[in-house]
Amino acid sequence: MSASRHDKGRAANNGNEVLRNKDDAWLARPSTIRLLWRVFALVLVASVVAQLLFKVKGYFGVDGWLGFGAVFGFLACLLMVLFAKVLGWVLKRDDGYYRKRDDV
């Protein structure tokens, strides 16, 4: 008989049932990650197919191109993630930042 995921988490925590296995989070499961990627890809394909079925009137020329919304959305998301990474590096402090300040 194999132990469940919860039993493994308890064994790793030496019987402490308050602490949970970090894989219990539904977003951390590999099956959920695969499902989300498939849903995202399906939405992307659906948006491009919808543009084939319905005429899109572009106001600036380039926004009427096939797949412009999908590409623009992807690039906007990529830029937001990169900005967040850079902002994290700029705002990051070392572990003892506040401890050193209290010692003065």
96: three-class secondary structure by DSSP: coil
d(CA 43, CA 69): 12
Evaluate whether 10 touches 4 at the Cβ level (below 8 Å): no
Helix (H) or strand (E) holding 94: none
Domain ranges of the chain: 1-54, 55-104
Measured CA to CA, the distance from residue 35 to residue 12 in angstroms comes to: 28
pLDDT by residue for the chain (104 residues), tens only, comes to: 455 555 554 445 555 444 455 557 888 889 999 999 999 899 889 988 999 999 888 899 898 899 898 889 889 999 999 999 999 999 998 888 787 665 65
DSSP notation for 1-69? -PPPHHHHHHHHTTT-SSS--GGGSGGGSHHHHHHHHHHHHHHHHHHHHHHHHS----SSSGGGSTTHH
Structure-block tokens of residue 2: 């194999």
pTM, to two decimals: 0.55
Provide the residue type at 102 as one letter: D
